């Protein structure tokens, strides 16, 4: 029978926000034992970047601490770093939390990702609440994940929600390790965890982005369109960064691309652009000036159409323009999905879809891969883990080199 887990077993911890409180929390954590269960709450839908506005840490013998890093980030790092760095961390969906922790110069020495463990173990639902309910018959309080966690003061109900996110993580990791071990998959999971850690080991700040990273920018083919997209992105980025606002709240990416595609020639045209806040006269006036500034700039400064970064066509183009490659891709994908069903592992966890497309393209189209040996080398070059190569290598080789 499922029971509601409405409160942390030791009550909702206070939110700690000063250097002295950070030092005291670090001492408490240092006196605990075993791995650290860690989670973060961010505000990327509200703020300019994805930095952590709340860090939750739980350790056996220490309980749970809730930390507010915003006003004293260097001080938090100095307090916590010596205690939790290079130790074992338990995180659910680690790739979402590790970047903001890395920006604070906080890095694990070992990692156990309970969400990924659930995928490899064959769980149908791998969100934290579903896994806790399935294993422990406890229903987690949910509902505040998409809030503006930069808000202060944080409501008590939000702090309770945040504390509950790490309440059962240590126990969940123990059970998932046992399940994976019984399935013969624990070594596979450990390779995955090391790979995730490696992706953020050298990270120290948010990755720089430019207008060329706009989703849909490749659909713009003319220099005047690209000039408008660039100018709109630069204006938006300057405004967003100076006010610490999420860029998408100011002007969504798809709107920038649509404005650049249609090139409105009047404020009224701009106001009618799909998705544009046309009922805001000030916004219409401001952004139309940006469009005109781009179109009146010297043409020799306009960008030229952007080349593809990897030389591999978008997957949506394969069936129309590359039928031979598409047929092989579909065949191999079906075989990997069948293998995944046998292993109770999603096909995308056996081999990332982008890596699969790359292998097929290089074997069938460019013929850079011509035999099993070069295939295995290419898989490793594209960061397929040894366990993945062991599982899918022969299958891929058979499909790609039928002769």
What residue ranges do the domains of the chain occupy? 3-200, 211-301, 315-400
Q: What is the CATH number of domain 3-200?
A: 3.30.420.10
- 327-346 tens-digit pLDDT: 999 999 999 999 999 999 99
**CB-facing half-sphere around the CA of 139: CA atoms within 13 A:** 5
pLDDT tens column, 357-376:
999 999 999 999 999 999 99
Least confident of 16-25, 119-128, 200-209, 291-300: 200-209
Q: What is the pLDDT of residues 159-213, one digit of tens each?
A: 999 999 999 999 999 999 999 999 999 999 999 999 999 999 999 999 889 999 9
Q: What is the pLDDT of residue 313?
A: 84
**Six token digits for residue 390:** 């062991």
Q: 31 pLDDT band (50/70/90 cuts)?
A: very high
| Distance of alpha carbon 187 from alpha carbon 366, whole angstroms | 35
The structure's pTM equals 0.93
Q: What is the pLDDT of residue 159?
A: 97
pLDDT at 393: 95
Alpha-carbon distances, residue 89 vs 63, 83, 113, 169, 389 (angstroms): 15, 12, 8, 10, 27
**Residue 308 confidence (pLDDT) above 70:** no
CA distances from 360 to 137, 323, 326, 330 (A): 44, 12, 9, 10
Q: Is the pLDDT of residue 316 over 70?
A: yes
Tell me the average pLDDT across 267-281.
92
pLDDT band (50, 70, 90) for residue 403: low
The proportion of the chain whose per-residue pLDDT surpasses 70, expressed as a percent, equals 99
- Give the model's confidence band at 314: pLDDT under 50 very low, under 70 low, under 90 confident, else very high: confident
CA torsion through residues 382, 387, 392, 398, sign: positive
CB-count exposure of residue 14 (10 Å: 0-12, 13-18, 19+)? exposed
Q: What does the DSSP 8-state code read for residue 312?
A: P
Alpha-carbon distance of 301 to 224, in angstroms, equals: 10
The span from the CA of 148 to the CA of 32, in Å, is 31
Q: What is the model's pLDDT at position 218?
A: 86
CATH superfamily for domain 211-301: HRDC domain (1.10.150.80)
The yes or no reply on domain 315-400 and CATH 1.10.150.80 is: yes
315-400 shares the fold of 3-200:
no
């Amino acid at each position: 029978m499922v029971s509601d887990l409405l409160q942390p077993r030791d009550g909702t911890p206070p939110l700690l926000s000063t250097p002295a409180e950070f030092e005291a929390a670090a001492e408490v954590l240092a006196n605990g034992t075993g791995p650290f269960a860690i989670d973060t709450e961010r505000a990327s839908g509200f703020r300019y970047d994805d930095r952590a506005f709340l860090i939750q840490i739980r350790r056996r013998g220490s309980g749970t601490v809730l930390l507010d890093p915003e006003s004293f980030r260097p001080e938090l790092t100095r307090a916590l770093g010596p205690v939790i760095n290079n130790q074992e961390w338990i995180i659910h969906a680690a790739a979402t939390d590790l970047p903001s922790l890395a920006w604070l110069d906080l890095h694990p020495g070992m990692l156990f990702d309970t969400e990924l463990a659930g995928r490899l173990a064959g769980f149908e639902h791998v969100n934290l609440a579903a896994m806790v309910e399935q294993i422990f018959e406890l229903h987690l309080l949910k509902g505040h994940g998409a809030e503006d966690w930069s808000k202060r003061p944080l409501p008590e109900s939000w702090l309770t929600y945040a504390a509950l996110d790490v309440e059962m993580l240590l126990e969940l990791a123990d059970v998932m390790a046992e399940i994976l071990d019984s399935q013969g998959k624990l070594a596979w999971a450990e390779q995955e965890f090391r790979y995730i850690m490696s992706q953020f080991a050298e990270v120290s700040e948010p990755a720089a982005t430019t207008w060329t990273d706009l989703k849909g920018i490749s659909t713009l083919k003319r220099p005047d369109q690209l000039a408008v997209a660039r100018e709109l992105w630069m204006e938006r980025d300057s405004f967003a960064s100076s006010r610490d606002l999420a860029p998408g709240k100011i002007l969504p990416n798809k709107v920038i691309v649509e404005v650049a595609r249609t090139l409105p020639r009047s404020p009224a045209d701009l106001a009618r652009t799909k998705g544009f806040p046309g009922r805001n006269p000030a916004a219409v006036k401001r952004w139309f000036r940006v469009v005109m500034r781009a179109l009146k700039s010297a043409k020799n400064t306009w960008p030229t159409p952007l080349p593809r970064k990897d030389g591999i066509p978008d997957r949506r183009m394969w069936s129309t323009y590359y039928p031979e490659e598409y047929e092989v891709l579909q065949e191999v994908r079906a075989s990997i999905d069948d293998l995944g069903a046998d292993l109770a592992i999603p096909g995308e966890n056996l081999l990332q879809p982008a890596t699969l497309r790359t292998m097929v393209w290089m074997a069938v189209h460019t013929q850079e891969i011509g035999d099993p040996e070069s295939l295995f080398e290419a898989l490793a070059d594209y960061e397929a883990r040894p366990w993945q190569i062991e599982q899918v290598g022969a299958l891929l080789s058979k499909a790609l080199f039928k002769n």
